[in-house]
Every structure is written in structure tokens, then in C-alpha cells.
Amino acid sequence: MVATDRQSVELTLHRFRTEREELTDFITRLRSDDVVFDIGANTGLYTCFATQKCTAGKVVAFEPYPPNIAELEANIKRNGGRGRVVEQALSDETGMANLSAPSEASPGHGTASLSEEGETVSVVRGDELVQNGTVPQPNVLKIDVEGAESRVIDGLVETLDNEACRLVYCEVHLSPGNRENGNDMREKELSAIQDRLIGLGFDVEQIGARGQEIHLRAQAHGQEH
């Protein structure tokens, strides 16, 4: 991985240390000919490992946050150049949306998210990109979009329902519970995403949790590890 600045290095190391178990699970289940979507790729930690494993497949990294894109592309190049970057956010509609981001524009920040305020960015339905041939049908998806998980999934219904799609890793970012019913609300958020994936034909398992972040692995019915 490239070292743009000290903060970028520290953020990459932090992600590697805190997500090592989930990253290992992700890598071990990849096949050499897989097409992988890394949605919310940041600077490419998952993307770069995937390109090393999927030597006969393809890896598409989706990242809308400008400070991350240059480092993401540099990291892909350093790791053989087999990944492709799409500089858009996936959502449930195609058009423009606001992306909230840290005021300090340094690569590696993982808090940029679709919101009511912020910088205007291009958003697109994942199904649209697959249907028009811009990107291939994926076999494996990793989703880490800082709270926009439901919108991404809703924009990928046909893609996820395709029999070629066998595995989804989704990091669910729960809203902070600051009211008496906060825990109930967080459980509803998590259940809504789990139910959505189950309804699309996946068996869903929680494989990790840290604070307001829950890591899910969804495997298509009948698929072997």
C-alpha cells in the first residue's frame, strides 16, 4: 500500500488491525475466477487482497470520496493493476446526491457517507451498471458505505438475485442510540438489512461487531463455502 501521508498510513493500519478477522474470512472464500465488487472501497485494502486472489476474475472498486480515489488507484497499480475504479457511489437511484465527509481531506477516512448535506457526487443504481454492461455481474460483493447499506442493496436487487451472486459481506452502520428506545431502533435497522438479504435468497450470519458496526456474511442458499 502506498503512503500518501502519516495519517493515511495510520488509517490503513487501523482498518487492517480491526477488520483482520473479517478480511481473512473474505479472502479465504474468494475463488480465482470471481468477479468482486468492493463497494465503499476507501483506499483499497479489500480490493488489493481480492486482486491477488482473483487472478482469473475481475475486481471493481466503487469509491466516490475524491481524496481516497488517487490512493486507491495507486494501490491497485502497486498490486498488479488488475482492479478497476468506478468513481461513483452506489445507491437506490441514479443522479446526484450529497456526500458528507471530514473537513480534513486526507486519504483513508472511512466516514464519508450519503447524507442531506455535503459535497455533490454522482450516484447510480448498481443494477443499471450491470444491465448496461458498464460492469460485469458480480459473484461476491463487499459493502461498507457508512449507513447507506439499505440504499445500496435496494439498487442491486436484480444483481443480488442473479444465481451467479453467491456471497455478500455487509458492514452495517447502526445509528447511535441516544434515546430510551435506542437499542430497539438499532435492532430494527439491523433486522431490516438482514431480512432484505434473506428475502433475496441468502443465509445471513453475523461474523463480527465493533461498537455501532455489525459485520454480516450473506451466502446464497445451497452454495458451499
Percent of the chain with pLDDT over 90: 64
pTM over 0.85: yes
**pLDDT at residue 174, rounded to an integer:** 86
d(CA 175, CA 183): 10
**pLDDT at residue 179, rounded to an integer:** 42
The answer on pLDDT for 178 being more than 60 is no
CATH label, 6-220, candidates 3.40.630.10, 3.40.50.300, 3.40.50.150, 3.40.1160.10: 3.40.50.150
**Segments making up each domain of the chain, as ranges:** 6-220
Mapping DSSP to helix (H, G, I), strand (E, B) and coil, where does residue 153 land?
helix
The answer on pLDDT for 107 being more than 60 is no
Contact 37, 156 (CB under 8 A): no
Non-local (6+) Cβ contacts of 23 within 8 A are 16, 45, 46, 49
Average pLDDT on 109-118 reads: 64
d(CA 179, CA 36): 39
Q: What share of the chain is helix, strand, coil (3-state, %, to 5)?
A: 35, 25, 40
Which of 159, 98, 170, 100 minimizes the C-alpha distance to 128?
159
